[in-house]
Amino acid sequence: MNLKDKVILITGASGGIGRELAKVLAKEECKIVLLARRGPELISIESELKLINPDVFAMKCDVSSRQNVKAVVHLSRELFKKIDIAILNAGVSFKTDPNNFDSTLAEEIFDTNVLGVIYFFEELIPEFKKNGGMFVGISSLADGRGFPKSGLYCASKAAVTLFLESQRIELKPFNIKVLTVKPGFVRTAMTAKNEFKMPFLMDAEKAAKIILKGIKKEKRIIQFPWQTVLGAKILKLMPDFLFDKFAAKQRKITLPKGR
């Protein structure tokens, strides 16, 4: 796929993978709408990229708000007359703690990671049905098992993966493509909070280049690195009692005897 003159929305564009994706896309002569909650960071990346590509515009957006999403999609249409690709990258994660379990964290994670994807589908499907289009949803290789201390995040990414899979099939007759991106560990502000070992940790810049390559090839599933992909497949097939021991060891949790 040639991305020249395509209008591309990127959520979560103020940092991490989203920011690096914006940088590599700016060189593709496409038109870019940067969306994020963090205003100062958003202005910073917009100013940086306008030196490369004048057709880069930033809009503050909380993807967990249906009205916010509706408004930025409307403004993007007014600005560029169309939207071709939506890269739905915004995401949050919080460590869970059985000694202080807080459902408000679940609300924030699912509102951002899951509904923040669904709201864009709702707004863009009618337009994409007329003109064609592409959704690129950022899920995770953590979608296959429930890892201790990351249960809410894993559950949200499992929901995203299955939602994208269903939409890929449903929307294909309308010439709407749905791509699922499943990275392993990527060096971002989010993963910097992790207290466990992260094998094959990758720089966000490298991850962005892999994702861009997959978008151009219109790959249904873009997953990387291969070592973590293989590991995730093994863990998914692993018997529950073995997974319990493995995951507890990785997250430094002591299981009762007999487990």
Match 């590991």 to its residue by tokens: 231
In the chain, what are the domains?
7-229 (3.40.50.720)
- Report pLDDT for 199: 84
Say which of 120, 135, 147, 153 is annotated catalytic. Answer: 153
Reported pTM: 0.93
- Residue 119 is a catalytic residue: no
Distance separating alpha carbons of residues 53 and 236, to the nearest angstrom: 43
Per-residue pLDDT of the chain (259 residues; tens, 9 = 90+): 999 999 999 999 999 999 999 999 999 999 999 999 988 999 999 999 999 999 999 999 999 999 999 999 999 999 999 999 999 999 999 988 888 889 999 999 999 999 999 999 999 999 999 999 999 999 999 999 999 989 999 999 999 999 999 999 999 999 999 999 999 999 887 777 777 778 889 999 999 999 999 999 999 999 999 999 999 999 999 999 999 998 888 767 544 444 3
CA distances from 74 to 38, 134, 148, 204 (A): 20, 17, 40, 30
